[in-house]
Structure 1
Amino acid sequence: MQLRYGMNPHQQAAPAEPVHPGRWPVRVVNGAPSFINLLDALNAWQLVREAHRATGRVAAASFKHVSPAGAALAGPVEAAVAEPYGLDPAALSEVTAAYLRARDADPKSSYGDLVAVSHPVDLQLAELLGTLVCDGVVAPGYAPGAVERLSRKKGGRFLVLEADPELEPPAEETREVLGLRLTQQRDAAELTPALLTPVSGAPLTPAATADALLGLAVLRHTQSNSVCYLHDGVAVGIGAGQQSRVDCTRLAGAKTDTWWLRRHPAVRGLAFRDGVRRQDRINWQIRYLDGDLTADEQGRFAEALTAPPSPLTAAERADWLARLDGVLFASDGALPFRDNVDHAHRHGVTTIVEPGGSIRSDEVAGACAELGITLVRTGLRLFHH
């Protein structure tokens, strides 16, 4: 498999070759991958396959720069999510629903993503992807006509990869850095409900169990430090690659708030002019919620609207955010201080899933008890670098 270029266009790419000759984890159906395309596709495919295996539900992920912008299980799709795409929420297939839910978690970051689904792409999803700005898709198969539809995208360059659902990765994985070859055992720990016995609080409901298992799959394939907030089968806030865990917790919490606030009537009621593109509408909704428009943005935002936006006061924001409840928070590493618990609690978190084992684990447990948060310690760290 010849790659278009390496990590950057000025880096020449050598061919990609399977570890076991003749056994490819993915095959190219259309287009030509770059180095990053393949990294995104291989990580995203593993995430959705593991999420499906752990939960039994169709899973989807939206990947950018080797971490998920969003991930979700198939489930009900809100009208607010389906309407911008001209879709009927009651008429969605499971793969389409799973991907819409995944992309809705952070639609600004999903712009230009690599799509992964655990089940074959049907015509409905192919038609949807044909209207979106995304770079490619990886799936275990394609319905008749789906590849033809996708191959018309991006002037025929849209990347379509077919994953081998039966292939298991080698027991060892190797990486070379600065002439040094590093080898380790592949992280093959199973993600099962057996990991999820609470050390305090009530047993997890089936819905919380599904959220927790999805969260663990997300963390395993997100650049560390990583945390994620989950609600109703959707990773609504993902924080990746931060040197400080509490910074990661705050970043993902802010994304969770934005996801929830996008459902506020003031946001849904923004009156955009005809001709304003769907992605621009999404981006303006988010910038409106950020509340720090530059002078240039204020002018362009006004031009995009037919009427001034309704004000969203601090009190109204706080009231709406207080309605978010039942959120599960998962961390790839032990929570080192209670500040992570305090920040997570601000975003509707009622359950925390973490490996445990920090020197202040008692302090973390005490904070959870104080705030009425169920605490689960898996004993399983899921760093990914």
Structure 2
Amino acid sequence: MPMTDKPTPVRRALVSVSDKSGIVDFARALADGGAEILSTGGTARTLREAGLAVVDVAAVTGSPEMLDGRVKTLHPNVHGGLLADRSKPEHIAALSEHGIPEIDLLVINLYPFEDTLRRGAAFPECIENIDIGGPAMIRAAAKNHGSVTVLVDPADYAGVLEEVGAGGVSAGTRQRLAAKAFSRTAAYDAAISRWFSEETGEAEPTFIAFGGTLAEQLRYGENPHQRAGFYRSAESRPGPARPGVATARQVQGKALSYNNINDTDAAFELVAEFDPGDSAAVAIIKHANPCGVAVGDSLREAYEKALVCDPVSAFGGIVALNRTLDAEAAEKIVEIFTEVIVAPAASPEAIEIVAARKNLRLLVTDGLPDPAAPGLMVRSVAGGLLVQSRDNGRLGAADLRVVTRRAPSEQEMRDLLFAWRVAKHVKSNAIVYARNGATAGIGAGQMSRVDSARIAAHKSAEAAKAAGADRPLAEGAVVASDAFFPFADGLLAAAEAGATAVIQPGGSMRDDEVIAAADEKGLAMVLTGMRHFRH
């Protein structure tokens, strides 16, 4: 708790900001209230140009800025003024003895390291944008929040001014702002430490930290009794942030829920597996699993093909596109209830069509994520974190090994590679049937691989009935398994469903039995040597 419950007036403020939005008006209001303004470098220049009286920090420290500005506030006359506990007479006496002025308010934001990294700056420039004095002052003021108010976010200026005008900043506000300040320096240091570890090639550093900025406070989490927030993570690699739900612009629709965000991310990452220059692609997601994926010459064609796979589950789903949403696709998508549409862009005509469904969210990302790009994935466990590199493994036809007497036809090979890309994004155990660039049945998240194969076959039969087809969609399709078949039973289930070719990692102790079963059924089989577990 704060050291004192009394509101603290602001008689002297130290202002040193990189982001100068709103700072002139804020400092002017403080000065009009009788506060003395201390400042440094560019901030002092900005305030003076606005006609404000400013005392240089150098006049307080008795030392000029030096080493290209690296040293200017690292001085007892600054940190003494921030750290002195006003409730302790001996602290006040020490300030008086050494001529150190009390500082009641610290207004600071840090060198723009994250922005520097985001625009792809070289290593030396990134190093120069690591703030040293700023975090030190923030932590000093936050530690001493019983006496000092610390501001790291321009969004808090107005509230603090209101309290200052009423006589002083309340203890509760000082404590809340101190917590925010510590969180800010933690996120800042997390971005630096992750970047530095990656620059030095340290895959599993001894210490690891992750930071983020609150994008939205959500109504609840997966369930109404759970609290949740959506955070944008700080990038640890040079260049723009990974396009996706965290960077998207919401064109319309009600606020996204926790589950919407999770499913939208899954959908967009899946659809990004397909190069928009090669074909249009659509993924329909429900509960983080695809219920239909397809490629085609147009988005409308791809959507119609994807919808056939499981039209029942598609109701209330997430639709992701790898190209600009056009009017023809939009008209078809809005025919059934859809929670979210996410695409790299949307035409004005498509936006107008979607606008007729007020609750339908439309997200525009301005790009597709690179499925081959490196990155980290994090999951919490009791008492710890599981951290791994992103599953960015990709394969082409040349990477596959044919192990059966019959090799896949050209069409089968195209469908095998298609099914393999989809299986990567299906919860394990995963089985995906595909034909003519569209999923024909998906079995997800089962404890037994043979059950996944049977469920996928059942779904294909149900989809065929809904489409008025005379045979299950899986008949004549290929099948992908995200991991090896431990026994031949899963392979035989796929054969019974009508599959003609199989793609799977291989590596089972019973590979020979599985291959023999495929030969007996006349199936072509290729091995990837790579699995795609997704738990």
Q: Is the 8 A contact 1:325 1:349 kept in 2?
A: yes
Shift of 1:62: 0.8
Tell me, yes or no, if structure 1 residue 25 matches structure 2 residue 243.
Answer: yes
Q: How many angstroms apart in 2 are the aligned matches of 1:16 and 1:324?
A: 41
Structure with the greater alpha carbon radius of gyration: 2
Please name the residue that 2:288 is paired with: 66
Counterpart residue type for residue 234 of structure 2 = V
Q: Is the 8 A contact 2:407 2:525 kept in 1?
A: no
Counterpart residue type for residue 382 of structure 2 = L
Tell me, yes or no, if structure 1 residue 377 matches structure 2 residue 527.
Answer: yes
Shift of 1:264: 4.7
Taking structure 2 as the reference length, the TM-score comes to 0.55
Q: Is the 8 A contact 1:175 1:181 kept in 2?
A: yes
Alignment CA distance shift 1:24-1:187 (3 Å): closer
Alignment CA distance shift 1:204-1:56 (3 Å): farther
Give the count of matched residue pairs. 310
Q: Is the 8 A contact 1:137 1:159 kept in 2?
A: yes
Q: 2:355 aligns with which of 142, 151, 173?
A: 151
Q: How many angstroms apart in 1 are the aligned matches of 2:378 and 2:438?
A: 32
Q: How many angstroms apart in 1 are the aligned matches of 2:446 and 2:439?
A: 18
Please name the residue that 1:358 is paired with: 508
Identical pairs, percent = 35
Q: 1:127 aligns with which of 306, 309, 331?
A: 331
Q: How many angstroms apart in 2 are the aligned matches of 1:374 and 1:51?
A: 24
Alignment CA distance shift 1:213-1:148 (3 Å): same
Q: How many angstroms apart in 1 are the aligned matches of 2:355 and 2:466?
A: 33
Q: Is the 8 A contact 1:328 1:352 kept in 2?
A: yes
Q: How many angstroms apart in 2 are the aligned matches of 1:46 and 1:237?
A: 20
Q: 2:274 aligns with which of 44, 51, 73?
A: 51
Q: How many angstroms apart in 2 are the aligned matches of 1:131 and 1:120?
A: 19
Shift of 1:187: 1.1
Q: How many angstroms apart in 2 are the aligned matches of 1:164 and 1:191?
A: 26
Alignment CA distance shift 1:149-1:321 (3 Å): closer
Q: Secondary structure at the match of 2:313?
A: coil
Alignment CA distance shift 1:256-1:46 (3 Å): same
Q: How many angstroms apart in 2 are the aligned matches of 1:323 and 1:66?
A: 23
Shift of 1:15: 3.0
Q: Secondary structure at the match of 1:6?
A: coil
Q: Is the 8 A contact 2:440 2:474 kept in 1?
A: no
Q: How many angstroms apart in 1 are the aligned matches of 2:261 and 2:410?
A: 34
Shift of 1:384: 0.7
More contact order relative to length (CA 8 Å, sep ≥ 6):
1
Q: How many angstroms apart in 1 are the aligned matches of 2:320 and 2:346?
A: 12
Which moves more between the two structures, 179-188 or 222-231?
179-188
Counterpart residue type for residue 251 of structure 1 = I
Alignment CA distance shift 1:201-1:30 (3 Å): farther
Q: Is the 8 A contact 2:219 2:257 kept in 1?
A: yes
Q: Is the 8 A contact 1:61 1:103 kept in 2?
A: no
Shift of 1:228: 0.8
Q: How many angstroms apart in 2 are the aligned matches of 1:344 and 1:131?
A: 33
Q: Is the 8 A contact 1:230 1:329 kept in 2?
A: yes
Q: Secondary structure at the match of 1:14?
A: strand
Q: 1:5 aligns with which of 202, 220, 231?
A: 220
Q: Is the 8 A contact 1:257 1:347 kept in 2?
A: no
Please name the residue that 1:165 is paired with: 367
Q: Secondary structure at the match of 1:108?
A: helix
Q: How many angstroms apart in 2 are the aligned matches of 1:184 and 1:203?
A: 35
Shift of 1:131: 2.3
Runs of 4+ in 1 over 6 A off after TM superposition: none
Q: How many angstroms apart in 2 are the aligned matches of 1:244 and 1:129?
A: 34
Q: How many angstroms apart in 2 are the aligned matches of 1:384 and 1:192?
A: 21
Please name the residue that 1:36 is paired with: 259
